Every structure is written in C-alpha cells, then in structure tokens.
Structure 1
C-alpha cells in the first residue's frame, strides 16, 4: 500500500519539480516519461538526447539522425524501486513518503467527510427544493396558459357584449331622442281629444241631469184609433206617425207598433229600426221570434212620435204577410246624411215551422237589389252565396245558413252580429253591430268579418250605416 502511494507521489513530484536551466539540458525523471504510442520508442536527434518530458517535450538543439547499426542506449537505473525511505536529491528531498501521504490523506479525509456529508445533505435538500420549485413553476405555467385562454375568451365575450351594448345604446338613444318625443306628441294629441270627449260627455250628463230633474214618463199615451195594421189605422183617421195598437187577428191580443203615416202615402208598419245603437241585436232565436227593443219614445210633445230601435218579432211579421199581398220598403242613411231606399212589391215570410223563409220580388229603388242579386262587386259563386231571397232565418243559437250546416264554428250569425236570412253569408246585414262614424276595419270587428250594418251594393262591406229601417204594408196594384 505504501509503496504504491510512494510511487504515485514520486512520479507526481518528479514531474512537477524537475528543475529547468535556461540553455542547459533538462533533467528528466524516468518515471515521468510516457511514450507517445504503444510501439517502441524512437530516439530524437542529437547526442545523448534525453527522452521527451511530459507528453513528448524535446530539446531545442539541432536534431541528429539516430545511429545506425548500434545498440540502443541503456536506460538510467531507477534509484528507488520501492519502500518508504529515500533522500535522493533526484527524487526531491521534500517529497513526503508514501506512508506519510497516506496519513495526511486519512487525516484530511476525517476533516473533509463531515463537510462532504453536510454538502451532500444540502445538495439533497437543494434537489428536493428544486423539484418543488420545478413542479410549482410547471403548475404556474399551466395556470398561466389556462388563464390566458380564459382571458382570451373573456376578451371575445367582452367584445361581443360591447358591440351588443353599443347597438342597444344606439337604439335607446334613438328611442329617447326621436321615438319617445314623437310618441309623447301623439299621446298629447290623443289626450287632448279625450279631454274634449270628456267635456262633451260632462255636458251631456249635465243636460241629462237637468232633464231628469222632473219625473220621467214610463209609457207613451196610446192613441184612441186602432186597427188591424197601420193601413187600416190610416183609413180610420190615424194620420200621425207614432206608436199605435194594432190587432191583425181578432182572436189574438193587440200589440204596439210604430206606424209611418207620412212616407209614400203612409200605412207602413215599422218591423225593424236601427238609429243609434242603443239596442243589442245579437239575440237568441226566441228573442227574434217574440220581438225586442223600444217601439217609440216621447220627445216632449205628449205622444210617442219618434220610433226607437226594435225588431217587431218574426211571428208577428209572418202573420202580417199572410193577411194578403205585402210590400217591403227599406230606407237607409249614411253618416253624411245621404239617403237611399230599396222597395220590393212582393214580400212574404213563412212561419216558425220552416224557419221563417224569406221571399221577395219586383225590386225598385236606389240602394241596390241585394236581396235577390247579392253583392254586385262579386262574381260567380261568390256572388250567388250572398243572395238572401229564399233563405231561412238564423240566429247564433239556431244555425240555418248555407255555410257548412251543422258545423258550430261556421255560423254567419255568430260572426256577423245579429239574426238574419243569412246565406253564406250576406250582401246586406241590417241587424249587424252598430259602428259610429261609418267606416270600420277587420281589427275593429269582433271576428274580423264585415259585421256592421252593411248594404254592400251601396257602401260596400266595411261601411256601417247610420240608420236603416224596414217597413211593410198591404200591396195594392195601382
């Protein structure tokens, strides 16, 4: 062990401390020489040239070719072949022995090992900390990437909402700057109109209160004159147009009716009258059979000379037409005061057993022959389905029209507002809904149909007349 260490030290010392003299041959320790290659050594030029030092170093003298035919120079004898003692100057007297080197190394090992162990533990701690830091950095990198994706998504959403907000802001600004002021002006105009109507209503209420300050008459005085019908009353001297008692059948009870004794020589029994919308004509079958409404009222002259809105009753009308030939006069007025009429020299109405079938003939007048010809503005089948002649009477609770009989959703009376001789459905509708002002629209109608007081051959489907009346009297050939 000591010898090996001694040789290692001797070699290192000889290599490190070989003295060099400027211009003199260099002293080389044989142990420090290492061949350049694994073959045999070759000599350098020059006499007595020492072998190369430390990796092939050579003298600076002029090279001389190696001797030919002579034996190689013998190597210098190694002074120390082993052991633990030497004081050779060539080996270096200051070089420690192998054993001393071992002791020195062991001593240094005892001092260095704790530091090395401490350094190892520190390295381990540092390694663990490095792993923790690496894991934390990796996690943070992933988190940052995820947050970047979320941030990019948020940026897109924010941009989208910003665009939407700008659009809404523009809409709100337009509404505030333009639409709202326009609507406010329109509402102000409507408010002014409503105020005017309220003032008119307040005035009308005040007038009604003034009229009602005195007791009202609940019935009209009945004239002394009476007869089978208005023509008979006229012949007996009842020449004033007012309400009378008539008794067509001597076995039946008398009833009230308004007699028009001034139009076309008088004698007319008013069987239907519309004038102000005060009476609802959307009635059941039994109401139309018995009759309903207000026959007449007093305007302060002591007798009922102003007819009200009413329907005389299908049973009574049918009985009057069976007494003999009967003619029908229909008079109407629009909201500008224009008047027209339609006259039929033959008018009959059958009884309840066959649903009061209508029959008319021999038209004359200025309103247009809707009963027999239908609506002039229509053509072909569309026109024939508006003819009323020959139709049965219908109400919303008894469907006798030609529009899909038996189907409760296809009823002319239900859609057009009153009882009438509907076909599929009408060209005139005297018992329809009352509309103030004349013109009306589908949006105003209950079912979107022309349900007003219509006479199509005069004013079309979407104009509701101000007034209309139907009168009958015995027909006499002139």
Structure 2
C-alpha cells in the first residue's frame, strides 16, 4: 500500500512540472515581454557589494548569490547603464559577454514533450487504478472495521460464554462431588441400615411363622372355654344375685346401658352376697406400683379356674377408678374390706357410705358409719398415734394419688415428698396413711425398714389391726348398693 502511494505522488509531481512548462501547441504564442534577469535577484538584507575584479556573470536563477571578496565602494556615484540581453526563444542567451551560448533546457522540454504521449495514458490508467484501489481500500477498511467490531462483539460473547461455562463447570463439579459422596458413603451406609432392618424383619417374620404354626397346632382340636361366663348379668352383682346368680365367680355387669359391659368378680356369699370386688390382693402376682392411667382404667386378673370349669377363684386386680366411681354414683353404696394375716386370722371393716367422685376431682373419697373388727382407719386414722400425727393419717376426703400424679397432703409440689412413691402403690393418701391395701407384697407378714425400698412402711398395712411393720397375706375391697334395714 505504501509503495503505491509513493508512486502516485511521484506521478502527480511530474504532471505538475509538465503542466508548468509550455507544450508544443503553445510555441506559436506571442513572446513574453523582456524581463531584467536582475529583477529576480533575491532580496538581501544589506546593501549591494561591489568587487574590483572582473565582472561576474549575472545569476541564472533566484537561488544564486554573489560570491567573491567584497571591496570598498568607489567614491562618488557611478552611473551604470542598463544592458539589454536579447532573448533567443528561451533556449540560449545571446550575450557575447557570456562567452558561449548556454543551453537553457529546451532540449529537455522537447524530450519530455515527446515522451508525454506515451506516459500520459499510462498515468491516466494508473490514476484510475489508484482511484479503484482507493475505493477498494475504503471498502476493505470498512469491512475490516466491521470485522473488528464483530470480533469484539464475539469476544464479549465468548467471555460471557466462558463465565457461564465456568459457572456450569463449578455447579457440575459440586454436583459431581455430591453424587460421588452419595455413591461412596451415603448409599453404602443406607444399604447397611436397610440390610439390618431387613434382617430384623426376617426375624419377625420367622417369629410370626412360628407363632402361626403353634396356633395351627392348637387349633387342630376344638377350642374349649376354660372360664365360661354365666348367662345371667345385671347392672351390678346385687342385681345378678336377685336374678339367680348366687355362685361367687366372674360375671358381666353393665351399670350404664350406653356403655359396654365388663367383667367383675361377684362375692355372693359374704353377708348375703351382692358384692362387686373392686380390689383384691392374695399372692403378690400383680404389681400395684402403677401409673395414674392404669389405676383409672383398671388392671390385673379378675378370676381364674382351679379345675372346676368356672372362674370361681378371684385373682389380684384393681377394677379401675372410673368404674368404681360410676357404680357408687348409681345410689347409696356400702364398702366391705376383708383381710387375713399369715396365721389365718380374719377381720373386716365395713362402711355404710362409700362414694368416689369423678376424675375431675381426682377421685375424692367419702366414707361414713364404720363397723367391724379391723379398726376404723378411714375415719379415725392410726389410733396408735396421737394429735396431729394421727389426724394426718385419716383417708376420708382425700384425693387419689399415684407416683406420677401427686395429690397427697405431704408438702404438695415437692417431688421428694410423695406418699405414693414411698409407699408402693396408688391410694387416697394423706400424710401418709393408716392403711395401705395397694402396698408392696411381703411374704411372712413382718418386715423391717431395711427391707423396704425407701425405709418406710410400704407393705399391705392396716395399722389399727397389725401396725405399720406387718404386711397382710390377703385383703379385698367390695361394694354393693346400701339398703337400710
């Protein structure tokens, strides 16, 4: 590109020189007016200088300057006449003083004019080529600028794509690490856990299969009811007795026609019968140190068969506070408590009034009109004690307490001062008791504080008969409707 531009400038310079000179067609024009060659002398800053030597030829062009050593100017004014130099067509100077005729360049002009016809078409063609090249150059420049802008745009897009690819790469690496951790660690751990669960399920299935096999073996023969329930039933045992159920055994009673019937043991022999047994202790086979909900629902074994075909032997059980409360609310109710020591002696305590309120009041106890041989612990407390020590053992008017629901009078709110927790079972404790029918079962009767779990009299105690450190062999509580004689 630079070479073409340099060539173009050279041609333009040559054309300018050609245009400056005269062409052949201009040779016939009128000769120009004669011009004094000294009139083209460069303007000097100083005055003209003179030389004593021979006269120097006049300057040919404006670029010449005077030479030689300057001399002093002649004194006075010297009149110099103007000489005329004939012009010979601009090719030679015709002055004799010049010595010879000097060529002025006419031959060069002619030579250039002769070559003009060959050079000018070539120059014109070259100009056209230069113009075309200029246009092509401009087009190419525009194309290059567009390409540069497009490259920059694509570079920005590429950088954006690079950032996006980097983000995707980071996300992919994170997901790959998570998947690798899951495959290498989590999955094997989960598989081991599932394998352990599967083994446990297999064991349970095997136990179930064994139980099914055992049950099938038992069911090969017709099933026999070992403890059939008599057909006669009623609201309570008194009604069953009047209907003909005079044998002491297990029956179904239904105090409320809107509720389901349930099993009880009916004592139909003591004091003319009709008693619903609500509590029974006889061999220590049932644990009475239970929670509130157990005492509310009831627990234990109602009765069992000793080989006579009927469940006529009572077991150890608590009927349930809800059921006891329901029966006592049906009407006036009396209570009979029978007990036996380890020597076979028997006593009883009877109360003509016995009522247990609902759970909303924590099953408050109310008794009245004692009679019997065991001693009135419910109303009088422990008669071997005196003053406040005795009154704090009275059970009448107390709320029911278990080790998880403390309602006694012994420092309420103090978990270390709970009668039920120390005395082994649920009961209507005060601070704490004169009787403890639901206490721990000790064989042999006498026991000591060193045998007790908390060092307290936690046995089956009736203090007004055997004192604090004697645990009875058996005791039962029974209720029936009270009728005035």
Shorter-chain TM range is 0.5 to 0.7
1:248 equivalenced with 2:255 (yes/no): yes
For residue 404 of structure 1, report the CA deviation from its aligned partner. 0.5
Structure 1 residues 226-237: aligned runs within 5 Å? 226-237=233-244
How far apart in 1 are the matches of 2:462 and 2:223? 37
Structure 1 residues 205-224: aligned runs within 5 Å? 220-224=227-231
- Select which of 400, 420, 424 maps to 2:431: 424
Q: Secondary structure at the match of 1:320?
A: helix
For residue 441 of structure 1, report the CA deviation from its aligned partner. 0.2
Q: Tell me: CA distance 1:368–1:223, structure 2 relative to 1, closer, same or farther (3 Å).
A: same
Q: Is the 8 A contact 2:328 2:356 kept in 1?
A: yes
For residue 218 of structure 1, report the CA deviation from its aligned partner. 7.4
Q: Tell me: CA distance 1:215–1:399, structure 2 relative to 1, closer, same or farther (3 Å).
A: farther
1:271 equivalenced with 2:271 (yes/no): no
Q: Secondary structure at the match of 1:372?
A: helix
- Select which of 272, 276, 283 maps to 2:290: 283
Q: Secondary structure at the match of 2:348?
A: strand
Q: Is the 8 A contact 2:226 2:309 kept in 1?
A: no
Q: What's 1:239 paired with?
A: 246
1:340 equivalenced with 2:347 (yes/no): yes
Q: What's 1:303 paired with?
A: 310
Q: What's 1:386 paired with?
A: 393
Structure 1 residues 1-400: aligned runs within 5 Å? 220-400=227-407
Q: Is the 8 A contact 2:226 2:310 kept in 1?
A: no
Q: Secondary structure at the match of 2:326?
A: helix
Of structures 1 and 2, the larger Rg is shown by 2
Q: Is the 8 A contact 2:410 2:432 kept in 1?
A: yes
Aligned positions, number: 265
Q: Secondary structure at the match of 2:389?
A: helix
Q: Tell me: CA distance 1:217–1:468, structure 2 relative to 1, closer, same or farther (3 Å).
A: farther
| Unaligned 5+ runs, structure 1 | 1-213
**CA deviation vs aligned residue, 1:25-68 (integer Å, no higher than 9, x gap):** xxxxxxxxxxxxxxxxxxxxxxxxxxxxxxxxxxxxxxxxxxxx
**CA deviation vs aligned residue, 1:295-342 (integer Å, no higher than 9, x gap):** 000000000000000000000000000000000000000000000000
For residue 220 of structure 1, report the CA deviation from its aligned partner. 1.6
**CA deviation vs aligned residue, 1:248-302 (integer Å, no higher than 9, x gap):** 0000000000000011000000000000000000000000000000000000000
How far apart in 2 are the matches of 1:449 and 1:290? 28
For residue 219 of structure 1, report the CA deviation from its aligned partner. 5.4
How far apart in 2 are the matches of 1:283 and 1:276? 17
- Select which of 387, 408, 418 maps to 2:415: 408
Q: Superposition RMSD on alpha carbons, in Å?
A: 1.4
Q: Secondary structure at the match of 1:289?
A: helix
| Unaligned 5+ runs, structure 2 | 1-220
How far apart in 2 are the matches of 1:330 and 1:263? 11
How far apart in 2 are the matches of 1:216 and 1:439? 45
**CA deviation vs aligned residue, 1:323-366 (integer Å, no higher than 9, x gap):** 00000000000000000000000000000000000000000000
Q: Is the 8 A contact 2:228 2:310 kept in 1?
A: yes
Q: Secondary structure at the match of 1:231?
A: helix
